[in-house]
Amino acid sequence: MDIETVGIIGAGQMGNGIAHVFAQAGYDVMLTDVDADALRAAISTIESNLGRQVSRDKITAADRDAALARIATTPTLADLGHCDLVIEAATERESVKDAIFAELVPHLKPETILTSNTSSISITRLASRTDRPEKFLGFHFMNPVPVMSLVELIRGIATDEETFATCLAVVERLGKTAATAEDFPAFIVNRILVPMINEAVYVLYEGVGNVASIDKAMRLGTNHPMGPLALADFIGLDTCLAIMNVLHDGLADTKYRPCPLLTKYVEAGWLGRKTGRGFYDYAGEAPVPTR
């Protein structure tokens, strides 16, 4: 199947990045969100990020203008019905995703491929609640989408080969690299990454090291580009907690128990960069450790 029109559900950090790379690759993009302000902010962010690429001579001004012209926005989910491929990039809550698919599916063409950018939730389970489990796939981009080269492609138990092959071709057209993952909780990247972050929170919780020491140790001791606590703030502590809960519930193993301190931060609304406070305070010019 040839993909030319792409619908993206959710205009947040992931959704606007996905819209950016699809438009830049020549696809016509329809971006939707329930929040009109989020849609306006997404276009502003995409314009800014494309402008940065122009300033670094990665693309031309004409490329930037052409990409922006390919992106349309709508607050109405049904407007995505004509798209060849739909990527859901809403919040990491299964009930929210199920509600979105229930509203959208009656408006889709029979041949439309439906995908989710979920970072941890069962693709098989999400697909089973739609009318097209054979045309449903996990399409997991890494953050920030315009910078990161990897896309995880996750087959559900019913996903057919044509759907997988079509999405693999899309990844290649985007200039990215696909890794194929089986449909188990958190797939590959987050199955490894988020428990590491959770363990770093335990090290903080138990007083083994403070925020600065933990991040410094991992940056300089293992050559990570970002410390695990700074990375947690970047991802969003609520997302980290959601993934740990999926791992703990789905695999029934106590090694995936979320750290109580991570839970406490989320309960406090200290979710990281997006709220201005997490393991670091972002109110000033430079982030300051909160512990």
- Show which residues are catalytic: 119, 140, 152, 190
Give, in degrees to the nearest 5, the angle at Cα 230 between 225 and 235.
Answer: 100
- 12 has binding-site annotation: yes
Is 97 annotated as contributing to ligand binding?
yes
142 is in an annotated binding site: no
What is the DSSP-derived secondary structure letter of residue 258?
Answer: P
Enumerate long-range contacts of 283-290, CB under 8 Å, 24 or more apart.
Answer: 287/230, 287/233, 289/210, 289/211, 289/212, 290/211
DSSP 151: E
- 255 assigned binding-site residue: no
**Residue 42 among known ligand-binding residues:** no
Report the distance separating Cα 218 and Cα 268, nearest Å: 26
* Nearest residue to 189 (alpha-carbon basis) of 235, 223, 222, 146: 235
Q: Is residue 95 a known part of a binding site?
A: no
CB 160, CB 133: distance < 8 Å: no
Dihedral through CA 38, CA 87, CA 46, CA 66, nearest 10? -130
Say whether 274 counts as a known binding-site residue. yes
Partners of 30 in the β-ladder:
7, 72
Kind and range of the H or E element at 100? helix 94-104
Residue 272 assigned as binding residue: no
Category of 175 on φ-ψ map: left (φ > 0), alpha (ψ -120 to 50) or beta: left
Q: Is 15 annotated as a binding residue?
A: yes
Amino acid of residue 90: A
Distance CA 63, CA 52 (A): 12
Question: Can you name the residues that pair with 138 across neighbouring β-strands?
Answer: 116, 154
The annotation status of 92 as a binding-site residue, yes or no, is yes
Whether residue 11 is annotated as binding a ligand: the answer is yes
> Which residues are annotated binding-site positions for NAD(+)?
10-15, 33, 92, 97, 119, 143, 274
> Which residues are annotated binding-site positions?
10-15, 33, 92, 97, 119, 143, 274
